[in-house]
Structure 1
Amino acid sequence: MKRRRNPMIVTLLGLRGNGRASVYTEPLWGLSMMLVLPYTSVFMLALGVHDAQIGLLATISMLSQVVFGLLSGVITDKLGRRITTAVFDIIAWAIPCLIWAFAQNFWWFLAASVVNGAWQVTQNSWDCLLVEDVDRAEIPKVYSLVKVAAEFSALFAPIAAVLVSSLGLELAVRILYLNAFVIMSLKIWLLYRYTTETTTGRIRMQETRGVSIWRSLSEYRGVLALIVRSKGTIFALVIAALVGAVALVNGTFWQVVISQRLGVPDALLPFFPMVRSLLSVLFFFTLIPLLTHARHLKAPTLIGFGVYLAGQLLLVGIPAPGGPAVTATYGLLAVCLMLDAFGAGMLFMLAESLVALHVDRAERSRVMAIQRTCVMLVTAPFGWISGWLSGMDRTWPFLLTSALLVLGLIVAGLFWVTTHAETHDDAHSHA
């Protein structure tokens, strides 16, 4: 009997056009930005940037993303998916990489953070370029391929570790940023070279010709009313905002606390996101589908908040060794990584799913744009707050995330709004 091929492999090999170019160039992200991201906060500390300033930069970056996120739909429609992606990838990644590579103090990082916020425009245009000409039945598998490519890109982390251990933190990170500039520029060129404007993109360019950006933005008022009237959409927004705030704090200060408080050497820092990514991929293919395959998402959401909370509290509770990290420290951090990989993976997927399930289908694109902007606005202050807390005690930002996750448990437990899919499945169920 002929052996059946893995559907993900079939999709990967069968991709053509924009889908193929978008997915095939995605691993270059791992050879560029993923090499340097684990060192971002520690590099700032090495250049004299304080904890509170690092938190402030995270908040300013988020506010910049809010502005660009609001404009993203309008820009993408006017310029087209392909040109928008190329131009704003250069603005959002190539230019900041050069600024980071030669950074001397807080003001360099501030400039790079503001410019880097433009990635919210390419988040919109790249998504459109990826899926608009792909068979609808293949879209979930295409996104799965992108997710797996992003997670596996952490496998390149040892390259950064070798550089840091041999050249020292500051010089190695500057080289890694220059490398990111070159690789990202290559990725941008390859994507532009091997894509064409989508059918929907050509239609929207024609429809928005002669229409001002301000007029297009003014049409968002009617969409806001749709959101406010939907109890389910508000609930999904609250869950997404809580998950986003926890992610912002962890992304900014997780490496700082294990480096500065727990004594993990700089050269080992990239291995932690690598392990977390691999565990996340493992859970995505095993445990998470088992828990989320049913229509009722309340129980898996509560489990996600609970497990993520356990990981954050354990991180706070790890005793500081008073010098280099000891074996027990690494053992407890390994448990933290496992809990974070499962809890965060579960919650990120469920937060996106809840927003999609409650959204008004006729206005999906504009509602999603406003929702993303609202989430970023609510999330933004937590960068500054966590930086202020970290300046007093490196564990305090994670007490803040723990409180946010407890709030998530309360909101999901007491104020759950049944989704359309659940209603269709069982009109009397609320779980």
Structure 2
Amino acid sequence: MNRARNPLWRTLVELRGNPRACVWTEPLWGLSMALVLPYASVFMLALGLHDAQIGFLATIGMISQVGFGLAGGIITDRLGRRATTAWFDVIAWVIPCVLWAFAQDFWFFLAASLVNGALQVTQNSWDCLMVEDAERGKITRIYSLVKVAADCSALFAPLAAVLVAQLGLEPAVRILYINAAVVMSVKIVWLYLWSNETRQGRVRMAATRGQSVWSLLAGYRGVLGLLLRSRGSLLALAVAALTAAVTLVNGTFWQVVASQHLGVPDALLPFFPMVRSVLSVVFFFTLIPLLTTAVDLRRATLLGFGVHLAGQVVLVAIPAANGGATASTYAFLGLCLLLDSFGAGMLFMLSESLVALHVDEGERSRVMAIQRTCVMLAAAPFGWISGWLSGIDRTYPFVLTSALLVVGLVLVSLRWVPTHPGEEPALTADPA
């Protein structure tokens, strides 16, 4: 691969300002949350929670995100993109990590889930911080780099596996949560010092200065009208909601089905997200740039839904283990990871990019806050539903995700709206 000619490499090297600060600090996620997330659900099982409770916590977390998400636009405009990201990263990640580290029962996890919902505030402000001063034609690449950074973070997964093998699941996970709180604190400080408030952020801070919270909330009516009148924004909202629901179920129950249904040892669980992430990085630097060079991203979105659907179907089809995972089990899981790494990676990048490309730029923070609130409302029930389904059969949650991905295929096929109507198809293409 010629790095000088590869569009993603070029974008990474040429990034400046806030996009560079956001992208280049993102790998610290790998030394914090990415180390512990593969164990989150099995850690809850080890402490005596059952599948339905785990699913209920996922739904509660989504409901909390709805509340914070609705307030996120106002908070982001009042405090600014930079300060909001710093303060609410502490609330959304550092505080919950401490609660998870010392958790004893269901109530600790419930409290952490409620506080963790603040991530929707910082997700809104962080997105604005990253893209508002970026070149429009580079937005899909910037989100691709964010996904690559998150995927590269999984390369540290063997550290968690060694810790679990040496200390056992429960003490190792508690240590990993404490580590996550410390490393996330470093990431928060580094991003704050390296970034600056955006131009639009300064405009919105000045415009909202002196206004009451109630008057700002009332302003959501006009913003909601902007959203409802935009077919492109509504399509982006639907794609994001379906992607969020599938991601919620996979993030909560993929490790459970691998451990409890397919007989994979706990110490091996982090290697699966690591392999998925390595494959995703390879795809983002090779195949995915070739598929997203056109302005019209319809074909790429259909491909993302279709390939991710194939991965979910393969997972459902793997026979249950009797006495432990077999060679064929690992072979099927490898195929599942190959398909998911491409499909989920495409959908993450495209769902975020479609929202950013269709949004009204003058009201970005409030429109995105409403969109994220709607996404969380739509996705929230699937945590509880998938927990109930998992209690019946550990593969049933992935039958549900397969159905959701089919809905996505139909929706994009019938209701697509071009992201750049009237422009030549060269959004992310490079000249020779």
Range that drifts further, 321-330 or 153-162? 321-330
Give, in whole Å, the separation in 2 of the partners of 1:23 and 1:409: 30
Per-residue CA deviations over 1:282-332 (Å, capped at 9, x if unaligned) read 122222233333344443333322222221111111111212111110000
Match of 2:115 in 1: 115
- Indicate the SS of the match to 2:59: helix
Match of 2:176 in 1: 176
Match of 2:247 in 1: 247
- Indicate the SS of the match to 2:31: coil
Match of 1:416 in 2: 415
Range that drifts further, 304-313 or 261-270? 304-313
Residue 73 of structure 1 deviates from its aligned partner by: 1.7
Conserved 8 A contact 1:73-1:369 = yes
Give, in whole Å, the separation in 2 of the partners of 1:382 and 1:392: 15
Residue 218 of structure 1 deviates from its aligned partner by: 1.1
Q: 1:364 to 1:130 in 2, by over 3 A?
A: closer
Q: Which amino acid aligns with 1:189?
A: V
Conserved 8 A contact 2:231-2:417 = no
Match of 1:310 in 2: 310
Q: Which amino acid aligns with 1:185?
A: S
- Indicate the SS of the match to 1:421: coil
Range that drifts further, 238-247 or 300-309? 300-309
Conserved 8 A contact 2:82-2:192 = yes
Q: Which amino acid aligns with 2:415?
A: W
Alignment of 1:17-32 (within 5 A): 18-32=18-32
Give unpaired runs (5+ residues) of structure 2. Answer: 426-432
Per-residue CA deviations over 1:99-128 (Å, capped at 9, x if unaligned) read 000001111000000101111111122233
| Aligned alpha-carbon RMSD (Å) | 2.5
Q: Which amino acid aligns with 1:270?
A: P
Match of 2:271 in 1: 271
1:216 corresponds to 2:216: yes
Residue 141 of structure 1 deviates from its aligned partner by: 5.0
Give, in whole Å, the separation in 2 of the partners of 1:205 and 1:137: 26
Q: 1:27 to 1:347 in 2, by over 3 A?
A: closer
Q: 1:129 to 1:362 in 2, by over 3 A?
A: closer
Match of 1:337 in 2: 337
Conserved 8 A contact 1:358-1:419 = no
Conserved 8 A contact 1:357-1:419 = no
Residue 18 of structure 1 deviates from its aligned partner by: 4.3
Alignment of 1:2-401 (within 5 A): 12=12, 18-132=18-132, 141-360=141-360, 362-401=362-401
Q: Which amino acid aligns with 1:417?
A: W
Give, in whole Å, the separation in 1 of the partners of 2:139 and 2:240: 22
Give, in whole Å, the separation in 1 of the partners of 2:355 and 2:9: 29
Conserved 8 A contact 1:71-1:121 = yes
Residue 184 of structure 1 deviates from its aligned partner by: 1.3
Conserved 8 A contact 1:298-1:416 = no
Conserved 8 A contact 2:147-2:349 = no
Q: 1:133 to 1:245 in 2, by over 3 A?
A: closer
Give, in whole Å, the separation in 2 of the partners of 1:420 and 1:77: 26
Match of 2:430 in 1: none
Residue 187 of structure 1 deviates from its aligned partner by: 1.9
Give, in whole Å, the separation in 1 of the partners of 2:291 and 2:6: 22
Residue 134 of structure 1 deviates from its aligned partner by: 5.3
Give, in whole Å, the separation in 2 of the partners of 1:238 and 1:138: 23
- Indicate the SS of the match to 1:48: coil
Give, in whole Å, the separation in 1 of the partners of 2:46 and 2:399: 25
Q: 1:311 to 1:23 in 2, by over 3 A?
A: closer
Residue 422 of structure 1 deviates from its aligned partner by: 5.1
Residue 239 of structure 1 deviates from its aligned partner by: 2.5
Q: 1:133 to 1:301 in 2, by over 3 A?
A: closer
Residue 137 of structure 1 deviates from its aligned partner by: 6.5
Give, in whole Å, the separation in 1 of the partners of 2:183 and 2:359: 37
Residue 133 of structure 1 deviates from its aligned partner by: 5.0
Q: 1:225 to 1:203 in 2, by over 3 A?
A: closer
Residue 11 of structure 1 deviates from its aligned partner by: 5.4
Per-residue CA deviations over 1:376-413 (Å, capped at 9, x if unaligned) read 11111000000011011101111111111222222233
Q: Which amino acid aligns with 2:288?
A: I
- Indicate the SS of the match to 2:146: helix
Give, in whole Å, the separation in 1 of the partners of 2:197 and 2:349: 29
Per-residue CA deviations over 1:160-210 (Å, capped at 9, x if unaligned) read 000001110001000100111111122222333444444443343232221
Range that drifts further, 43-52 or 355-364? 355-364
Conserved 8 A contact 2:55-2:385 = yes
Conserved 8 A contact 2:295-2:419 = no
Q: 1:305 to 1:194 in 2, by over 3 A?
A: closer
Aligned residues: 423
Give unpaired runs (5+ residues) of structure 1. Answer: 427-431
Match of 2:428 in 1: none
Conserved 8 A contact 2:29-2:184 = yes
Residue 7 of structure 1 deviates from its aligned partner by: 6.4
Match of 1:429 in 2: none
Range that drifts further, 143-152 or 251-260? 143-152
Residue 69 of structure 1 deviates from its aligned partner by: 1.2
Range that drifts further, 74-83 or 90-99? 74-83
Give, in whole Å, the separation in 1 of the partners of 2:36 and 2:132: 32
Conserved 8 A contact 2:99-2:112 = yes
Range that drifts further, 183-192 or 115-124? 183-192
